[in-house]
């Protein structure tokens, strides 16, 4: 059995070593050293170079490193084989860390207190609402979104969720679809976006959406936290809304262009917290374990898990 | 029924208004306008001026604003009446916010990423351990400590607790007493201190203790988070241990002297996060509700709640 690793970034050697250790019967190759293309049954990819997947006549399954698969779907001539997303408790836990931390940091005014500390000034920033006075809304109620909702609820926040199709989560107000968006935003002080990038969600985070967020909360204004995909957001609109007050602050882990160009005004904005798309990085060995396990299932004729619905894009 | 508010800080007028609203039969006075001292049955205090409590011959109960009562116990001639601590779900929630946020901020290297952001630099900081690779230890397993342990466990951290007397918490390794301290520290990457200040805990957070923390964790070194009381820590020792590497970073909400003097080198330390003793501020109206309720219990002959054991000091 032959597997090809085709990545434009990431630690390709790490994946190769891990796969060889966990799946000794696997013949692991790293693109562009692909050898006989007809022999390749599996591909493990992150932003695969254009045309690579189309050149594999006997490909059976494509595995995505990462929960989102937009980096694969942009490919022309994508073969008609199952595309499997990476879903892992570790990935979920890491995203929960990122989301809880960033909600807390805006809520508890970390940037203001850092500024006061730099001036050696002992001073309170008022008001000091409790988590139970803040309404957090999570867009995207998949595995990551549901976990974030549960953790934020446990910290005391008043939670709601929004998703394309109606979901039910005990104790959480769930909104859905286009009709549900406006009332969802209107009750939200802190917006957390964990949506996948699809044609439907492209550029969704724009001035119009921001202007619909709650303006009567206990913080100086609405907060945006995006750890989904950069293409969900219009960065010029984020800057404009920070100016008008439709947004008070933001945490961005993803960007229209990555790495975020050094000329972007986002870097220097005092109310924007930037991280380099590392909210939840797939752990190399966890990816390898997952792929080896899925291949074993497939070879035994069992169904693959977390196969992407290509129409929905996730 | 007459109640005297005796505070050297805090919003005395806010408490008076709240108590009058919630307990209309209560005659509320604010020190030093105490009127007839013999008529005063109750006192609500935060750092009460010396001698005030001793001057009240018919005092029945003292209520402390705040969960810690060290600010009262320092008084000479403290009358032999019950001293009631303020215990409140809101206070617990606020402390949970502070503790989770500060653990996450050190774990996820917020200061490093803020530095990179200020340079418009897109770069990862390695390693990136998950919460499940970090061992957090909480000292003090009262209401606040147990809540913090539960919340950190839910975020994925490997938890242990230490307390004076042995506690049992499901799924959490509990250490106790002097014998338990060394092994507790030896397995702890991030130390959270929520102990009360008593003669036993005075100056407990010193170089000797720091040198016992784990040095084989995935962070550059051990982290101290103190939201208990300032007198638990020796600030010169914190600075020394940050120098030697026995500590890598710290979050301090409390200080030997408050406000922290502007000359303190802690303010400017790049790995110290300072807040002005506001991890969990008692909400004025919640304090008022609590006091009115406890007075009603007492007047009906029912037992008071959360009475301090004066020998233990909490």
Structural domain count of chain A: 2
Among residues B225, B265, B200, which one has the least CA distance to residue B105? B225
Q: Is A155 within 8 Å of B151 when comparing Cβ atoms?
A: yes
Surface of B (82-111) touching A: CB under 8 A: 90, 93-94, 96-98, 100-101, 104-105, 107-108, 110
The mean of the pLDDT values for chain A is: 95
Residues of B in contact with A121 (CB under 8 A): 262
Q: Is residue A287 part of a domain?
A: yes
Burial A134-172 (b: 16+ CB within 10 A, else e): bbbbbbbbbbbbbbbbbbbbbbbbbbbbbbbeebebeeb
- Per-residue confidence at A105, pLDDT binned at 50, 70, 90? very high
Residue A61 lies in a domain: yes
Query: At which residue do the structure tokens 């108590």 appear?
Result: B19
| pLDDT range class, residue B11, cuts 50, 70, 90 | low
Residues B84 and B207 in one domain: no
Q: What is the pLDDT of residues A59-102, one digit of tens each?
A: 999 999 988 899 899 888 889 999 999 988 899 999 999 999 99
* Burial category of B193 from C-beta neighbours within 10 Å (exposed 0-12, middle 13-18, buried 19 and up): buried
pLDDT digit string, tens, across residues B217-260: 999 999 999 999 999 999 999 999 999 999 999 999 999 999 99
Can you say whether residue B125 is alpha, beta or left, with left for phi > 0 and alpha for psi between -120 and 50 degrees?
beta
Say if B304 falls within a structural domain: no
Please tell me whether residues B27 and B120 are part of one structural domain: no
What CATH number is given to the structural domain containing B77? Answer: 3.40.50.720
| A29 and A83 inside one domain | yes
B151 touches chain A (CB under 8 A): yes
Residue where the block lists tokens 């009240």: B56
Task: Mark whether A229 and A295 lie in a shared domain.
Answer: no
Please check whether residues A140 and A259 belong to one and the same domain.
yes
For residue B104, the chain A residue with the least C-alpha distance is: A101
Give yes or no: residues B75 and B110 share one domain.
no
Convert B8-43 to b/e letters by CB count within 10 Å (16 or more is b). eebebeebbebbeeebeebebbbbeebeeeeebbbb
Predicted confidence band of residue B283 (pLDDT cuts 50, 70, 90): confident
Exposure of B293 in the CB half-sphere (CA atoms within 13 A): 12
Percentage above 70 pLDDT, chain A: 99
pLDDT at A9 over 80: no
Q: Is residue B311 part of a domain?
A: no
Tokens in use for A86?
């990476």
Q: What pLDDT is stored for residue A10 in this prediction?
A: 58
Structure tokens that stand for B172 in this block: 């959490």
Indicate the pTM of the whole model: 0.91
Instruction: Note whether B278 and A124 are within 8 A (CB).
Output: yes
Expressed as residue numbers, the domain containing A210 is 89-274
Average pLDDT over residues B289-306: 95
Q: How confident is the model at residue A310 (pLDDT cuts 50, 70, 90)?
A: confident
pLDDT digits (tens, 9 = 90+) for B46-97: 999 999 999 999 999 999 998 889 989 988 888 999 999 998 889 999 999 9
Shared domain for A143 and A215, answered yes or no, is yes
- Two tokens, residue A282: 């797939």
Is residue A227 reached through a cis peptide bond, with omega within 30 degrees of 0 on the bond before it?
Answer: no
Beta sheet of B61-64, edge-to-edge order:
B27-30, B2-7, B40-46, B61-64, B83-84
Q: Which of B247, B249, B259, B253 is nearest to B274 (CA)?
A: B253
Pairing state between β B135-139 and B158-163: parallel
Helix (H, G, I), strand (E, B) or coil at A237: helix
| Shared-domain flag, residues B294 and B256 | no
CA-wise closest residue to A314 among A83, A77, A47: A83
Which of B95, B98, B146, B278 has the highest number of chain A CBs within 10 A, making it the mutation to test binding with A? B278
Query: How remote is the C-alpha of B113 from its chain's centroid?
Result: 28
Peptide linkage before B226 cis (omega within 30 of 0): no
pLDDT at B96: 98
Catalytic residues of B: 229, 277
Q: How far is B150 from chain A (nearest CA, A)?
A: 10
Question: Is B260 an interface residue toward A (CB < 8 Å)?
Answer: yes
Query: A3-17, A145-159, B173-187: lowest mean pLDDT where?
Result: A3-17
| Residue at B313 is within a domain | no
Are B105 and A105 in contact (CB < 8 Å)? yes
pLDDT at residue B313 in the model: 85
pLDDT of A11: 63
Average pLDDT for A130-137: 97
Of A274, A277, A285, which to mutate for an interface test with B (greatest number of B Cβ within 10 Å)? Answer: A274
B108 contacts in chain A (CB < 8 Å): 97-98, 101
Same domain for A112 and A27? no
Q: Provide mean pLDDT across the span B13-34.
A: 93
* Domain presence at residue A307: no
| Complex ipTM more than 0.85, yes or no | yes
Tell me, yes or no, whether B230 and B156 share the same domain.
yes
Domain assignment of residue A266, yes or no: yes
pLDDT at B10 over 80: no
Distance in angstroms (rounded) separating the CA atoms of residues B223 and B215: 11
Lateral strand order in the sheet of B190-193 = B173-176, B158-163, B135-139, B190-193, B223-226, B249-252, B272-274
Give the Cα separation of A267 and A261 in Å (integer): 9
Interface touch A156/B93, C-beta < 8 Å: yes
Please state the separation of Cα A232 from the chain's center in Å.
10
Active site residues of A: 229, 277
Mean of the pLDDT values across residues A218-239? Answer: 98
| Chain A residues with beta carbon closer than 8 angstroms to that of B130 | 90, 93-94, 97, 283
Q: Alpha carbon B237 to chain centroid distance?
A: 20
In a domain, B68, yes or no: yes
């Amino acid at each position: 059995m032959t597997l090809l690793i085709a990545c434009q970034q990431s630690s390709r050697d790490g994946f190769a070593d891990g796969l060889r250790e966990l799946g000794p019967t696997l013949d692991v190759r790293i693109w562009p050293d692909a050898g006989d293309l007809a022999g390749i049954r599996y591909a493990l990819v992150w932003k695969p170079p254009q045309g690579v997947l189309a050149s594999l006549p006997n490909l059976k399954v494509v595995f995505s490193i990462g929960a989102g698969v937009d980096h694969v779907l942009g490919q022309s001539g994508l073969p008609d084989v199952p595309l499997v997303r990476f879903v892992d408790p570790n990935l979920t836990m890491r995203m929960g860390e990122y989301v809880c931390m960033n909600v807390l940091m805006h809520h508890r005014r970390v940037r203001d207190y850092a500024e006061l500390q730099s001036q050696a000034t002992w001073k309170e920033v008022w008001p000091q609402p409790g988590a139970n006075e803040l309404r957090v809304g999570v867009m995207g109620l998949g595995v990551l979104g549901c976990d974030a909702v549960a953790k934020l609820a446990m910290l005391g926040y008043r939670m709601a969720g929004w998703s394309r199709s109606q979901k039910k989560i005990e104790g959480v107000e769930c909104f859905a679809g286009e009709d549900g968006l406006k009332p969802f935003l209107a009750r939200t002080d802190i917006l957390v976006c964990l949506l996948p990038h699809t044609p439907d969600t492209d550029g969704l985070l724009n001035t119009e959406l921001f202007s619909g967020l709650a303006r009567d909360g206990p913080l100086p204004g609405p907060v945006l936290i995006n750890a989904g995909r950069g293409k969900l957001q219009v960065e010029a609109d984020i800057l404009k809304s920070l100016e008008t007050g439709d947004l008070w602050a933001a945490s961005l882990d993803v960007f229209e262009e990555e790495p975020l160009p050094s000329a972007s005004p986002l870097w220097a904005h005092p109310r924007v917290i930037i991280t380099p798309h590392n909210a939840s990085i797939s752990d190399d060995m966890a990816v390898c374990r997952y792929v080896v396990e899925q291949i074993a299932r497939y070879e035994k004729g069992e169904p693959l898990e977390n196969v992407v619905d290509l129409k929905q894009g996730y």
